[in-house]
Structure 1
Amino acid sequence: MSNFMLKNYNYHVWANHRVFARLAELPEETVHQELKDVFPSIHAGLVHMYRVDWVWLSGLKGSSFEEIRSQTVKIVEKMAGMTLKELEAAFIELAEDCQNFLSGVEDVQGTIRFPHPILGVLATNINEVIQHIVNHGTYHRGNISSMLRQLGHAGASSDYVFYLYEVNQVK
Structure 2
Amino acid sequence: MNQTIQFFDYHLWANTLVFNHLKELPSEVTYKDVQSVFPSLYDTLSHMYRTDFVWLKTMKGESFDKTLEAVQQLNNENLGRSTEVLEKDYLQVSEEYKTFIQQLDDVNDRITINHPSYGSWSVSYAELLQHVANHGTYHRGNITAILRQLGYKGTPTDYVYYLFELKSRQS
- TM bracket, shorter-chain basis: over 0.9
Q: For residue 97 of structure 2, what is the aligned residue in structure 1? A: 98
Correspondence list, 1:19-98, <5 A = 19-98=18-97
- Give the Cα–Cα distance (whole angstroms) in 2 for the partners of residues 122 and 131 of structure 1: 17
- Give the Cα–Cα distance (whole angstroms) in 2 for the partners of residues 51 and 79 of structure 1: 10
1:7-28 per-position Cα deviation (integer Å, ceiling 9, x unaligned): 1111001100111111101111
- Secondary structure in 1 matching 2:154: coil
TM-score, structure 2 as length reference: 0.96
Q: For residue 153 of structure 1, what is the aligned residue in structure 2? A: 152
- Give the Cα–Cα distance (whole angstroms) in 1 for the partners of residues 134 and 76 of structure 2: 25
1:52-97 per-position Cα deviation (integer Å, ceiling 9, x unaligned): 0000000111100000011101112212322121111111111000
Question: Shift of the alpha carbon at 1:122?
Answer: 2.6
Question: Shift of the alpha carbon at 1:132?
Answer: 0.1
- Secondary structure in 1 matching 2:20: helix
Q: Is the 8 A contact 1:111 1:123 kept in 2?
A: yes
- Letter of the 2:139 counterpart: H
Moved more, 105-114 or 52-61: 105-114
- Secondary structure in 1 matching 2:34: coil
- Give the Cα–Cα distance (whole angstroms) in 1 for the partners of residues 8 and 94 of structure 2: 9
Aligned CA-pair RMSD: 1.1
- Letter of the 1:29 counterpart: E
- Secondary structure in 2 matching 1:168: helix
- Letter of the 1:135 counterpart: N
- Give the Cα–Cα distance (whole angstroms) in 2 for the partners of residues 23 and 130 of structure 1: 25
Give ranges in structure 1 of 5+ residues lacking alignment: none
- Letter of the 2:34 counterpart: L
- Letter of the 1:79 counterpart: N
Q: Is the 8 A contact 1:5 1:127 kept in 2?
A: yes
- Secondary structure in 2 matching 1:123: strand
Give ranges in structure 2 of 5+ residues lacking alignment: none
- Letter of the 2:22 counterpart: L
- Secondary structure in 1 matching 2:104: coil
- Give the Cα–Cα distance (whole angstroms) in 2 for the partners of residues 101 and 7 of structure 1: 14
Runs of 4+ in 1 over 4 A off after TM superposition: none
Q: For residue 134 of structure 2, what is the aligned residue in structure 1? A: 135
- Letter of the 1:113 counterpart: T
State how many pairs are aligned: 170
- Letter of the 1:26 counterpart: L
